[in-house]
């Protein structure tokens, strides 16, 4: 099947979703993006994603055009008869902004990732404009490649103060006793799913503390997990090759609440 | 006239120098580049640029294909009958690397920029992998836009230690007495033109010290200038809106030597 895409409100063939390498905004990744879950033909948390897209754009001075997002997404769902997919909105700035919407099969993970946990590695590096979802992604790309080369699923980014802030495509949480630690909103990408994770944790009676834990503190953690639109909440069972403790039931309860609220 | 470009050794129309937004390496700016001066149909310092391209690629683990650079560049010079132009080599990594060579009219600057100096601003931010010429350029893009919005020609990037390391597309030098300061090679992009600037400075009897000056030290500078392939050596006459002293003759002597050695 020939996949379609949206460019500035028009249906195009996905293979025509192209940008010229001679344009400065392309050369300099002056662009913002969002990854969205479409479940049963419905976009999950569209408004939250669009709000974050707007916030990212505002932060770098990228002027977003006025777009009927729901309508454009529905055009693509209709055209390719999509049911469950992961969509990507990408907006390049410049004298005339260019908006792309593309899709791929829904990103899902084997059940064993949730029941056994995943392996993560650590990588020293700080995201430029951490609260902003731009295409300036080379650090994340290199960190994730490093993790994969070690057989791990995700890399956690560690800053100059040895703080474990977030993953390359996920937020990060550490449980110690009844307290759940996660970096404050101004130090990381405030994930759309993170909002649900925090709500779920509180509902389950955890104390939520918005403070990044240091790498050395992780030795005292009772559990760690990561979250993203695709993962919901995913338990971590290995850190830099070493098995770490994990309270699976509580993390899976968080996951289940996150997924439940998606379709409400 | 319809411009041409090179893609993987083939002549294409420049308007077809495109990359797909659905490819992870494009989304994550996993690419390296070089900007080259072509003067009188000859590429200036091609070997130095290719060496730096290779070093940049190696640093991020991008596997460069084996390319007959001179031959491909000559194909483009021949096809579009080019004499004096600025060329750009851009290589996207991935399972199959993609090489583009594009051109634009030779970047030159009015004589007054050299005789009167240019205005620069300062911008706090650190380049990721500073010795590496990748497309991870959002910081430079934003810093330069900020400079331009203030009527300045270039932005100087200042790090967490208040060190003035380099411009967004230039190296930076401060003269104090008979000493010329510039950041060490491991903290900045080691410009191809910078090699000539250092050689020229030494030939003119200056002591070269490879140490970045701090922002507050610039108050004691007798002169400042910036260098790049396009600029050679360009005097700075304003810093953050304030007029600063400048020994134009010595900087223009450096510029003249840099340009002379280009065509030797």
What does the pLDDT look like over A182-194, one tens digit per residue? Answer: 999 999 998 789 9
Residue A264 has pLDDT above 90, yes or no: no
pLDDT of the residue at B1: 75
Residues in chain B with pLDDT < 50? none
Q: Is the pTM of this model over 0.90?
A: yes
Distance CA B128, CA B133 (A): 10
Residue A1 has pLDDT above 80, yes or no: no
pLDDT digits (tens, 9 = 90+) for A193-236: 999 999 999 999 999 999 999 999 999 999 999 999 999 999 99
Whether chain B has a CB inside 8 Å of the CB on A135: the answer is yes
pLDDT of the residue at A130: 96
CB neighbour burial string for A214-246, b if at least 16 within 10 angstroms, e if fewer? ebeebeebebbbbbbbbbbbbbbbbbeeeebeb
Chain A residues 52-71 with CB within 8 Å of chain B: 60-61
Q: At A47, is the secondary structure helix, strand, or coil? A: helix
Distance CA B210, CA A195 (A): 48
> Residue B141's closest chain A neighbor by CA?
A28
> Residue B34's closest chain A neighbor by CA?
A27
pLDDT of the residue at B241: 97
Q: Check if the beta carbon of residue A66 is closer than 8 Å to that of residue A41.
A: no
Instruction: Say whether A29 and B136 touch across the interface (CB within 8 A).
Output: yes
Determine the residue among A6, A7, A21 to mutate to test chain B binding: the one whose Cβ has the most chain B Cβ atoms within 10 Å: A21
Give the percent of chain A with pLDDT over 90: 96
Instruction: Say whether A17 and B21 touch across the interface (CB within 8 A).
Output: yes
Instruction: Say whether A29 and B24 touch across the interface (CB within 8 A).
Output: no
> Residue A103's closest chain B neighbor by CA?
B22
ipTM of the complex, rounded to two decimals: 0.94
pLDDT digits (tens, 9 = 90+) for A39-58: 999 999 999 999 999 999 99
Instruction: Say whether A21 and B20 touch across the interface (CB within 8 A).
Output: no
Query: Which residues of chain B does A28 touch, with a Cβ-Cβ cutoff of 8 Å?
Result: 135, 137-138, 140-141
pLDDT of the residue at A263: 81
Mean pLDDT, rounded, of chain A: 96
pLDDT of the residue at B164: 98
pLDDT digits (tens, 9 = 90+) for A110-135: 999 999 999 999 999 999 999 999 99
State chain A's maximal CA–CA distance in angstroms: 54
pLDDT of the residue at B149: 97
Instruction: Say whether A138 and B145 touch across the interface (CB within 8 A).
Output: no
Residue A20 has pLDDT above 80, yes or no: yes
Between the alpha carbon of residue B240 and those of residues B122, B148, B159, B168, the distances in Å are: 6, 12, 16, 15
pLDDT of the residue at B239: 98
Distance from CA of B55 to the nearest CA of A (A): 16
Distance from CA of B166 to the nearest CA of A (A): 17
pLDDT of the residue at A167: 98
Query: Which residues of chain A does B61 touch, with a Cβ-Cβ cutoff of 8 Å?
Result: 142, 145
Q: For residue A84, which phi and psi values (nearest 5 degrees)?
A: -120, 110
Give the percent of chain A with pLDDT over 70: 100
Query: Which residues of chain A does B100 touch, with a Cβ-Cβ cutoff of 8 Å?
Result: 21
pLDDT of the residue at B125: 96
């Amino acid at each position: 099947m020939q996949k379609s895409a949206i460019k500035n409100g028009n249906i195009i063939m996905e293979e025509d979703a192209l940008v010229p390498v001679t344009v400065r905004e392309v050369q300099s990744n002056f662009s913002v993006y969002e990854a969205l879950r479409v479940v049963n033909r419905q976009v999950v948390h569209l408004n939250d994603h669009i709000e974050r897209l707007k916030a990212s754009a505002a932060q770098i001075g990228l002027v977003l055009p006025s777009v009927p997002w729901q309508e454009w997404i529905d055009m693509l769902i209709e055209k390719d008869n999509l049911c469950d997919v992961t969509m990507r909105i990408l907006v390049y700035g410049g004298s005339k902004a260019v908006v792309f919407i593309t899709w791929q099969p829904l990103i899902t993970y084997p059940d064993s990732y949730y029941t056994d946990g995943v392996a993560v590695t650590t990588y020293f590096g700080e995201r430029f404009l951490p609260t902003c979802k731009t295409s300036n992604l080379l650090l994340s790309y290199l960190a994730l490649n490093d993790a994969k080369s070690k057989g791990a699923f995700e890399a956690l980014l560690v800053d100059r103060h040895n703080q474990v802030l977030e993953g390359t495509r996920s937020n990060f949480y550490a449980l110690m006793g009844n307290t759940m630690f996660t970096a404050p909103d101004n130090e990381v990408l405030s994930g759309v799913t993170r909002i649900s994770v925090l709500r779920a944790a509180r509902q389950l009676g955890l104390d939520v503390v918005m403070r990044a834990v240091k790498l050395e503190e992780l030795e005292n953690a009772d559990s760690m997990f990561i979250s993203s639109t695709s993962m919901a909440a995913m338990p971590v069972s290995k850190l830099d090759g070493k098995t770490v403790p994990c309270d699976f039931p509580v993390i899976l309860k968080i996951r289940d609440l996150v997924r439940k609220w998606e379709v409400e």
